[in-house]
Amino acid sequence: MRHYTQLTREQRYQISALLDNNLTQTEIAKTLGVHKSTISRELKRNTGKRGYRPKQAHEFTEERIKQRSKKRFIEPIWGVV
């Protein structure tokens, strides 16, 4: 099973700068050392009417992580379980 790491804030700013220099998604992926589908998904999830904005993209990512990692049980219930 392959393990993946999420893009960092710095990588998102690099994506933005490379997009401004008209690089393709494949070229950006090679530059960052990630798979081209990672760049494709990042842009699909985080490009809005004003284009790709790395600060906002990172904030959206952090919010998705918080929503995904909500605990099912609160601490007192774990004692009973």
What are φ and ψ of residue 33, in 5° steps?
75, 35
Average pLDDT score over residue span 41-53: 92
Expressed in percent and rounded to 5, the helix, strand and coil fractions of the chain are 65, 5, 30
pLDDT at 58: 92
CATH 1.10.3470 is held by the domain 9-80? no
- pTM of the full structure: 0.76
pLDDT tens digit string along 49-64? Answer: 999 999 999 998 888 8
Determine the pLDDT at residue 10.
95
